[in-house]
Each structure stands twice: as structure tokens, then as C-alpha cells.
Amino acid sequence: MEQTLALVKPDAFARKDEVVLKVVSAGFTVEKSAELQLTPARAAQFYAEHAGKPFLDDLCNFMCSGRVLAMVLSKEGAIKAWRELMGPTDSVAARSTAPDSMRALFGTDKQKNACHGSDSPEAAAREIAFFFPPSGEIPDLATGAAQAAPMEGGAAAEPAANAPPARSEGQVRAAALAKEYLETKLTGTLTGALAELAKDTPADPIAYLVDYLRKFNPHPQGSPYAKIVFVLGGPGSGKGTQSANIVRDFGWTHVSAGDLLRDEVQSKSTQGKMIGDMIKNGQIVPGHITIGLLKKAIVKATDAGAPGVLVDGFPRKVDQAGMFEKMVAKAEFTLFFDCPEKVMEERLLERGKTSGRSDDNIKSIKKRFKTFVEQSMPVIDYYEAKGSVRRINATKPVDEVYRTINAIFTEAMQVGNEKAASLTAPAAPPARAGSKPKPQAQLAEVAKMPSNKSEGEAGPALTRHVFSTALAPNVVAEQPSAEGQEMPASAAVPVGSETLPVEAAVAPEPAAPYVAPVVAPAETSLEAPAELSAEPADDQALDPEPEPKPKPEPALAPPPPPPPASDSDVLSPRSDQLQAAPELPEDSAQSPTPMPA
């Protein structure tokens, strides 16, 4: 399969997600990708063929003016196809002759033209090696070409007879994952650092490297969002009711997908009518719309200092689960409200007397049940296979159900620093109407309660709670061959070492001022499902992603000590995984995208 190098240049970097979406939709596979910052020396190396030309300095300055996304794309005839998709060199001309091209859409002029693509197989090979030197080789700093790494002490390579014994399958796989990790996370930046180092020959090369890597760190933070827990269950199972309790006691923020969609209907946006019709019919709104809304709300909650966000009523389809993971983050776990239809129907009809909701009537309720069983239950199966579902018996009275939930949240939190002096009160949690943040005075009262650490034991005045990475099963490195990794979705998309679902067919979306439907993080490897059409309309106003602030310290919440929950309350708690804190694999480089603690 032919490969080509594709660059998203600094002028289009902010819209790289849209570029990648178009790349994937056009049938390319993103074999490798890396975000990096070019230095003047590296840029000059890359454009060595233009040495002496009058525009070279300007070009290099431009290429160093911000980060770039380098990708290796593959497809039959990838070189030509990518150049066609890029469009003519001059973005101004492109807008009249190839208005759908990348340069027309994302570029400014002849120099700031959004993208680069190799122009021949030779150039592709050279350029790919420039950005993605083969593993075990180091770049030749003078030419940019890769060369075999010298043996320790500068010795020549050993003859084959003295070669180390063949490696096991596991070792080979670990090496491949480590290679992938290094290539996507480090190689680009490190290569640039070494090139600059060789040029500047500082007296203290280590300090120089440290300084450089800090300055040009393309991954300055891990997941920029507060922790996320999905709250799922049938309509009327009690998700909203219990979310309000969690907000009250744990300081989390409740983000209801249904509420966000209903707000959108109210706002009379262009998509509002379509969303309103879908809600009435119990249909599921296309994932990219909901994710756009959710992401905005999650960013807002994170910025407000929420330690966690309850995402209520999402994902509603298996492919939306994968889409969310790639566009936003992985959830810590899924709280599932198990409730028979009969009970839910009674509750919804009762709720319908006052809720004013267009779908709390028997006709819509029946449709919602059908949609839930057919499309949403597989999401539970999916997460259950990953061991990340906390299943609640939701038929019991509100207080009883909450006791179980409180225990789950308390258990899933790790008691950290117990020094009251170092503690601060939680930020006032933004909550859905009806839930009341706990006032300071009440917090002080709760502070006198026993710690959750061990029931009955006198606790600290306040206890700092942080989510334990080890307690969140799907946060630790996932092995590609682990059971349950395979997705049921037909449009499964391999992402790095694991297979994730992607929403296959998304209804055509009218232009609307939504947040850009962001796509997978650049370092993931994407293959285009033939029918993927999650692309925004070209004329859609796409807000640039709000830059989320670095994740704040988890706010401190003093959950009241829950009475012990009976076994029957937690139907499938996977407590085996909750209790023990599984250790991260020693070679954590095996996880291409480890979630930070």
C-alpha cells in the first residue's frame, strides 16, 4: 500500500481534528502521527531541496511558528490522492478551483496553505523517515536521513552469529508497542532537540535538553478534563435523581446529555428542530452533536474546578462510546441503573404529569424503551466486557438506591492526604436544577463525621479524595489481545493497539454554530470505515476548541459515610476489580495512551 507524508502546518494546526476527519473520510489510513514543533534547523533540513531560494527563510519561519501534525497516510495511490485532497498550492486560488480541498478550507494564501504532501515515492520515503525514523535508528542530524544506531561504545554491529536469541512473541509485541509509543509521543520532539543540541553544542547538554523538551513539550498535560463517569440506564430509571445526590455529596458536576439536547431545542438553533423531533420519537441524536455539547460542558466543569463529571444518558450507542473515548476521554466507569420497563413506565407517566417533557407520554415512552433495548443496552454489554460497569438495582426506594451509589463512589475514591490543614472546600458544584450544593457550614458538619476510610473510625476533619487510577479498571493500560476488547460495532476502527467503535452513519447535519466535532487524538491510528460520514457540513461554523486549563487538584468533598449496601443492591459490582488496586504493568510503555493518574 502506498504511503505518503502529510503535514498539517502551523496555520491549520488548530483545526487538525477537522483535517484528520476529512483524511479518514477520504479513505486514508493514518498509519502514524505525531504533533511536534519544528526548529529552524529542522525546518531547513526538511526543505533542503529549496536551499538558496528566496522564500526559504520565510517558509522556515512559518513552519516554526507553531506546532505541526505529521502523519503517515496510506491508501492505493496515496501520494496523488493526498495531493488532490490538499488542492492547489495557493489557498486563494484553491477556493475558486477546488473549494472542498484542504487548502481552500483551512489555508490562507500561497505560503500559509495548511498542508504539505510528498510529491513522489522517493520524497515520501525520505520525508517519512525524516519525521518517523525507523525504530532502533537515529536520525542523521546532518542530512535528516535515518542511520543505524551505533552499538554501545561505538562498536560496529555484531555479526549475525553473535546475535541475541530470538525474542518471544510477548517481547516482540512489547517492543512494537514501545516503538509505537516512542514514535507518537517522543521521536519528533526529541529529534528536533538533538538537532538543536548538535548545532548549539552547549556546555551542559543535559540541562539544555531538559530545557528544550519542557519548552517544546507537545503533550504538556494528560487528559485535560475532570474525571468522567457515565450514568446509564433506561428512561426513568432514576439517573437524574441520583446524579443530584452525587453532586450534593461529592462535589461532582452533573451533565445530562438529554438536558443539553433539550436546551438546544429551546435555543431554536438550526439543529434544534431536528433534535426536538428525534427526542419526541425516542431516537438517538447523532453522536457528534451530543459530544460537541458534552465536551463544552465538561470543559466548563473542569475549568470550574469540578473533581469529576457525571455524564448522564451518554453514550447511547456503542459507536458513540468509541467516538467519545477518542474525542474526549475515557470514563472511569459506568454506573448502570438496572430497572424493568414496567417500573420505568410507571415512573415516567408520573413524571410526565409535571415534567412538561415532550417525550414523557406513553407513545414516546414505548419508542424510547425500544431504542434503549436495541441500541443502548449493547453499550452496557460493551463496558461490562471491559469490567467497568457498576450495576445498580434501581427498583428500590431512592434512599436505598443512593446508599449503594454512595458506597460505590466512596469506594472508588482513594483517601489521600488526610491533613485537614491542607484542605480547601470544594468549588460550588454547578448542578442541574433541583440539586443543592452543600453550603460551607454543612461541610464543616460533615467534616466531623467519621472518615469513609474505615467505617466507624474517627476520621480527619476533612478528607482529600482523589480518584485512584488503580481503581478505575479502564484507565490502566489495555492490552490489545485482552478479552472483551473487540467491539461489536460493524464499523470498528483500530486505534493504536485497541479496537474502538466509531459512529458509522451519522445523519447529515445542517449548518449550526456547534463546537467542532473533534476527532481522534492525533496519535491514534485510524482507519476509515467506508461509511463514516461524521463530517461536519463544510459551511458549518466550527468553534475552535476551547483550550482546557490544566486539570485542577481534585476538589475536596466530604461524602457522608454510607450504611453498608446489601449485596442485592449491587447486581454486578465487579468488586473484585474495585477492591484490589491492580498494579500498572512495569513496562508502562506498553500503553500507547496511558491516562495520567
Ligand X SMILES: Nc1ccn([C@@H]2O[C@H](COP(=O)(O)OP(=O)(O)O)[C@@H](O)[C@H]2O)c(=O)n1
Ligand Y SMILES: Nc1ncnc2c1ncn2[C@@H]1O[C@H](COP(=O)(O)OP(=O)(O)O)[C@@H](O)[C@H]1O
| Annotated binding residue 103 | yes
Which of 10, 139, 282, 378 is in the footprint of ligand X by CB under 6 A?
Answer: 282
116 is catalytic: yes
Q: Between 173 and 351, whose beta carbon lies closer to ligand Y?
A: 351
**Who contacts 498 (Cβ-Cβ below 8 Å, separation ≥6)?**
478, 480, 485
Site for ligand Y in 293-352 (CB under 6 A): 347, 350-351
Question: Which 3 state secondary structure label does DSSP give 174?
Answer: helix
Q: Which residue's C-beta sits nearest to ligand X?
A: 258
Element (H, E) at 248: helix 239-250
Binds ligand X (CB under 6 A): choice among 10, 117, 192, 235? 235
45-61: buried (b, 16+ CB within 10 Å) or exposed (e) per residue?
bbbeeeeeeeebeebbe
Angle at 305 between CA 457 and CA 244, to 5 degrees: 65
Q: Which is nearer to ligand X, 147 or 270 (CB)?
A: 270
Contact 157, 148 (CB under 8 A): yes
Q: How many residues form the binding site for ligand Y (CB under 6 A)?
A: 14
Q: Is the peptide bond before 315 cis (omega within 30 degrees of 0)?
A: yes
Element (H, E) at 321: helix 318-327
If residue 352 lies in a helix (H) or strand (E), which one and from where to where?
helix 341-355
Q: How far apart are CA 110 and CA 371, in angstroms?
A: 50
The CB-side HSE value for 469 (13 A sphere, CA atoms) comes to: 11
User: Quick check: 401 binds ligand Y (CB under 6 A)?
Assistant: yes
In degrees rounded to 5, what are phi and psi of residue 353? -65, -30
Binding segment for ligand X (CB under 6 A), chosen from 4-12, 51-59, 150-158, 313-321, is 313-321
Q: Which does 283 bind (CB under 5 to 8 A by kind): ligand Y, ligand X, none?
A: ligand X
**Is 529 a binder of ligand X (CB under 6 A)?**
no
| Of residues 72 and 407, the one with the C-beta less far from ligand Y | 407
Do residues 582 and 476 touch, judged by C-beta distance below 8 A? yes
3-class DSSP state of 56: helix
Query: Counting contacts by CB under 6 A, is residue 517 touching ligand X?
Result: no
Q: Considering the rule CB under 6 A, would residue 526 count as an interface residue with ligand Y?
A: no
Number of C-beta neighbours around residue 248 at 10 A: 21
By beta-carbon proximity to ligand Y, the closer residue of 97 and 566 is: 566
Q: How many CB atoms lie within 10 A of CB 160?
A: 6
Residue 290 binding result from ligand Y, ligand X, none, given CB thresholds of 5 to 8 Å by partner type: ligand X
Asked if 371 touches ligand Y (CB under 6 A), the answer is no
Which residue number, 146 or 291, has a Cβ lying nearer to ligand X? 291
Residue 197 in 3-state DSSP? helix
SS3 at position 8: strand
Nearer CB in complex with ligand Y: 85/401: 401
- Shortest Å, Cβ 20 to ligand X: 24
Q: Which does 401 bind (CB under 5 to 8 A by kind): ligand Y, ligand X, none?
A: ligand Y
* Cα–Cα distance for residue pair 115/123, rounded to 1 Å: 16
Show which residues are catalytic: 116
Binding residues for ATP, by number, are 9, 55, 83, 89, 103, 113, 236-241, 351, 396
- Interaction site with ligand Y (CB under 6 A): 233, 235-241, 347, 350-351, 397-398, 401
Binding residues, by number, are 9, 55, 83, 89, 103, 113, 236-241, 262, 283-285, 313-316, 351, 357, 368, 396
Binding residues for a ribonucleoside 5'-phosphate, by number, are 262, 283-285, 313-316, 357, 368
- Interaction site with ligand X (CB under 6 A): 235-236, 239, 256-258, 261, 278-279, 282-285, 290, 313-314, 316, 359, 368
